[in-house]
Amino acid sequence: MSTTTLTLGRPGLLSGRTPFDWLFAALILGGAGYVFSRYGGAMDGYEKGILIGAVPSLIAMGWFWGALRVLGLAVGAATLLAINLYLRTPDDFGADLAAGEKVFLLKYFLSSQSAILWMSVLFFMSTVFYWIGFFAKAGNEDATALKLGSRLAWVAVFMALTGTMVRWFESHQIGADIGHIPVSNLYEVFVLFCWLTTTFYLYYEQHYKIRSLGAFVMLVVSAAVGFLLWYTVAREAQEIQPLVPALQSWWMKLHVPANFIGYGTFALAAMVAFAYLVKLHASAGSIWKLAPLFGLGMVLCFEPLVFRQSASNSVAYWVVYAGVSALIVGGILAARVRIAERLPSYEVLDDVMYKAIAVGFAFFTIATVLGAFWAAEAWGGYWSWDPKETWALIVWLNYAAWLHMRLMKGLRGAASAWWALGGLVITTFAFLGVNMFLSGLHSYGEL
């Protein structure tokens, strides 16, 4: 007589865990315990809260996506190594920031500035190799160059996170009232944007096995790196500065990361939409339908900045930047037939676009609510129709309408892709354009 066991419901979070899962969890717990015992005396309440909250979050994310285990452990090890290289003696909490110019590993790899420069170089290299691999062999997602592009992207994310964590430590060593989480100015949030956008793409790449799409997605990351490098040179933005009073709030630590998850995933969706349109209108008779792409490319290359900089080197930089952008967009349009053959299916592109916008919208909604609480604390009102707030609302309404049309009306195809791509223009203006052209309560973020 046979017996059948019927199991109802979904398996629990802890069921089916492998020894490697538990080893990872033990390493995270052990690392957090070491950090708390070693550096807890130098942390404020907020930072202790982050450390405590990071433990279950990192374990859950590592269990959900195995690739994050290696990344998280590597970043933690590199950050602790950098901190110990900065310390004058093993038992001294005070750091010698001059060691950043003396100690080999700090000077060339692990100081915040060095790590972020490596991040920039690696993102450029990743973009190049993705495109080499894209044209190497039609339909071969395992081309060597594509694999190399993907691995370079991972290393760039590692350097970005290491640079961010070390910069956080460095800020505390400058002065007790200067230390802050590095998400407070354009330099820091561009680093945040780059690694967040890339990490979300790498998840979709692994899930859908679509390395070829990296050639498109990494273009927007490289564009952001281009802005970051100019901003670093033109404004010496890499220097750590004290927070202005408006930013001295724990709401900032929640609002800004949530906001940039939205920005990053919206940018990701736009580049997928770009690829979708190239694939859809690859035939010779459809080239005129892609003409707006060239104009959008120029709008998104920050050409207006040329007219706001008096220094000739800034003008020259942005002219070259615009020229390179034009050549890339023009080259993609010229090679659209070959490119279309190598892109994933319409169904995959549409699904990635939808999921990226859905995730971005959820986090952007959270960021907007948190921003309202922050405004009430700082300025006495939840909403003031400040230009930044107004454009954030426009971004939210744009993607709310996109999701509504998709879920209620079945929005698909070219209309969906054009809308997602146009959304990047709106998002870019909300992110940068408001800082450039409009003034208001958020004017501390001016270029």
Query: 297 near 232, Cβ under 8 Å?
Result: no
Cα–Cα distance list, 405 to 264, 349, 364, 397 (Å): 22, 18, 18, 12
Angle at 407 between CA 405 and CA 413, to 5 degrees: 65
Q: How high is the mean pLDDT in each 10-residue block of the chain (447 residues)?
A: 51 75 94 86 79 91 93 95 81 73 93 97 97 78 88 98 95 81 91 97 96 95 93 86 80 91 97 94 72 66 50 71 85 89 94 97 96 84 84 96 95 94 92 74 55
Query: 346 near 333, Cβ under 8 Å?
Result: no
pLDDT for res 308? 52
pLDDT for res 150? 96
pLDDT for res 290? 73
pTM of the predicted protein model: 0.92
pLDDT for res 310? 44
Cα–Cα distance list, 305 to 50, 233, 310 (Å): 37, 15, 10
pLDDT for res 320? 83
Classify burial at 362, counting beta carbons within 10 Å of its beta carbon; exposed 0-12, middle 13-18, buried 19 or more: middle
pLDDT for res 356? 98
Query: 254 near 370, Cβ under 8 Å?
Result: yes
pLDDT for res 138? 55
